[in-house]
Chains A and B, each alone.
Chain A
Amino acid sequence: MLFYLFATLAILSAAYMVLTRNLLYAGFSLLVTLLSVAGIYVLLYADFVAVTQLMVYVGGVLVLILFGIMLSSRVHDKSVLSESVNKVWGVVVTGFILVGLSYTILNANISALPWLQAAGTDVLGQQKSTVQRVGIKLMTDFVVPFELASLLLLIALIGAAYIATDKPKV
């Protein structure tokens, strides 16, 4: 049922990204979409892909896009200025959340949960994760594309640094 939650979240935030007029909102809804897709990777037992999605997309690509937004749009609207509103309600709601979480933790008796007891037997069958198989594939069957990808990344790095630098007018 988590699949439906993540899928709905991904599609809604993707639609919002296309429809909104605010560039920063679009960037952050893309963040929500990428996180939901990472969650679906976890549901598919593709753990290494999920972690790579988090690191490459959420950590790298999205930060780059936000940099691009900041560098390429005039900051004229007030939404950039961050003032705090709803102080009282925010504190009350967060206090309730804190109390609820603490109550749950106190009552949960976590160390006796059945799935935690059964964690010694792994869910995935013989192997615990897909990292080993993906690594072996990358180093045997796909070694030439792997090296080509590293070369491509180096070329892209040099090219981007060359394009984006301020060249002095000759």
Chain B
Amino acid sequence: MNQIPDIIRTIPLNYYLYFSTALFIIGVIGVLIRRNAIVIFMCVELMLNAVNLLLTAIASYRADTNGQVFVFFIMAVAAAEVCVGLAIIVMTYRNTRSTDVQLLNNLKW
């Protein structure tokens, strides 16, 4: 099953782990500290991308395409999520004239 060339292995897998961890952490920070719904959305996309990157890296190191197939499903779910989520954000903006998530406290007791 050694069909993937050794040129990939010139960069250790650890670096890919650190890199996607960094992307994921940046996404988490963005979700936690930003108040604009669209920026939170983009940060969610960033986290999904970090996971995709890690799946692809490990799949390439193992010379195994199963991980890449998972990436496609994640992309499909992300596309659906963006589609519905942006519709919700546009609707929220129409109702409240703002995309600030802290204003959406109507259900708070």
Q: Which residues of A contact B109 (CB under 8 A)?
A: none
Q: How large is the interface on A (under 10, 10 to 19, 20 to 34, 35 or more residues)?
A: 35 or more
Count of interface residues, chain B, beta-carbon cutoff 8 Å: 57
A14 to B45, CA, bound (A): 11
A87 to B87, CA, bound (A): 40
Residue from B4, B29, B65, B83 in contact with A157 in the complex, judged by beta carbons closer than 8 Å? B83
Interface residues of B in 39-98 (CB under 8 A from A): 39, 41-43, 45-46, 49, 52-53, 56-57, 59-60, 65-66, 68-69, 71-73, 75-84, 86-91, 93
The chain B residue with its CB closest to the CB of A127 is B3
A123 to B23, CA, bound (A): 30
Residue from A33, A34, A53, A138 in contact with B69 in the complex, judged by beta carbons closer than 8 Å? A138
In the complex, what's the smallest C-beta–C-beta distance from A146 to chain B, in angstroms? 8
The chain B residue with its CB closest to the CB of A74 is B97
Residue from B43, B46, B60 in contact with A46 in the complex, judged by beta carbons closer than 8 Å? B60
A14 to B20, CA, bound (A): 12
Q: Which residues of B contact A75 (CB under 8 A)?
A: none
> Do A142 and B69 have beta carbons less than 8 Å apart?
yes
**Best-buried of B41, B42, B53, B77 by chain A (most CB within 10 Å):** B42
> Do A18 and B75 have beta carbons less than 8 Å apart?
no
Q: Which residues of A contact B71 (CB under 8 A)?
A: 46, 49, 52
In the complex, what's the smallest C-beta–C-beta distance from B38 to chain A, in angstroms? 5
**Known contacts A26-B39, A52-B75, A125-B3; A45 and B8 CB within 8 A of each other:** yes
In the complex, what's the smallest C-beta–C-beta distance from B1 to chain A, in angstroms? 10
A17 to B49, CA, bound (A): 14
Interface residues of A in 4-43 (CB under 8 A from B): 7, 10-11, 14-15, 17-18, 23, 26-27, 30, 33-34, 37, 40-41, 43
7 smallest beta-carbon distances between A and B, as pairs: A156-B80, A72-B93, A125-B3, A18-B30, A164-B87, A160-B87, A163-B87
Give B contacts to A, CB under 8 Å. Answer: 2-5, 7-8, 11, 15, 19, 22-23, 26-27, 29-30, 33-34, 36, 38-39, 41-43, 45-46, 49, 52-53, 56-57, 59-60, 65-66, 68-69, 71-73, 75-84, 86-91, 93, 99
